[in-house]
Amino acid sequence: MSFDTATRARFGEGPGDSRDVFPTTAWILPWPDPVLDQRGHDPRSRYVEQFWLGVIGPTGTWLLRRIVARFDDEPDGFEVVCADLAGELGLSVTKGFASPFARALHRCVMFQAARPLDGGTPGWQVRRRLPTVAQRHLRRLPQRIQEHHSGWDHAIGNDQIDRARLLAEAMVGVGDDPDLVERQLLAVGVPPAAASQACEHVLRAS
């Protein structure tokens, strides 16, 4: 069953009903995953920007970033006015399930970054971290991105990662915004893969 069909069914409407109405409010809850929560990639990281963006799409990626940032303040989840959340991304829900916002959410569900809540409650569980992009998705990306991904974890050692983490922790310790740390690390010459891992480390710890 597709995202649209499943979600509409939970709201009591069929997939072909012209009266389909996107929920006014919805619950956004974390989707726990012990492995990904420790080893996955934060949606705000350079890795996700580089490699997941072309899979989920720019709007879906920004939607995940907004939700995960809010999890930092409300770790157990939160209720949203869907029109307001869409508005934060410059979108609307006036076309219901055919709206750009709903389509972006649909892509998050397609690629298992989110899933509808069970029990008929309007809302979704959303992952705090994304896995490494699967090869089947990478093969659909431009060759340059594929080559970049193949070298992402190469040529960096544990010592580089450790130094990057120490730098990242120091930056956060003096009050730097954790969301900006990765770019600051890149600016001082830290390899992208090490900077990404260090940033994800401080985001988990913050």
End-to-end CA distance of the chain: 38
In this predicted model, which residue has the larger pLDDT, 5 or 48? 48
**Average pLDDT of the residues of the chain:** 83
Phi and psi at 115, nearest 5°, equal -155, 145
For residue 41, the 8-state DSSP code is: B
Instruction: Report, in angstroms and rounded to the nearest whole number, the Rg of the chain calculated over CA atoms.
Output: 18
Tell how strand 25-30 and strand 114-116 pair up: unpaired
Top mean-pLDDT range of 35-44, 75-84, 170-179: 75-84
Is the pLDDT at 99 greater than 80? The verdict is yes
The torsion of the CA quartet 22, 59, 43, 140, rounded to 10 degrees, works out to: 110
**Is 76 strand, coil or helix?**
coil
Q: What is the pLDDT of residues 4-25, one digit of tens each?
A: 455 544 433 333 443 456 789 9
Top mean-pLDDT range of 69-83, 120-134, 151-165: 69-83
**pLDDT tier for residue 91 given thresholds of 50, 70 and 90:** very high
Residue 151's closest CA among 40, 50, 37? 50
Token reading at 99? 């709206």
Phi and psi at 80, nearest 5°, equal -125, 150
- Residue 154: what pLDDT? 60
Phi and psi at 65, nearest 5°, equal -60, -45
Residue 124's closest CA among 205, 7, 15? 7
∠ CA 45-79-16, nearest 5°, is 95
Q: What is the pLDDT of residues 123-146, one digit of tens each?
A: 999 999 998 898 899 999 999 999
Residues 196, 172: contact at Cβ < 8 Å?
Answer: no
- Residue 160: what pLDDT? 76
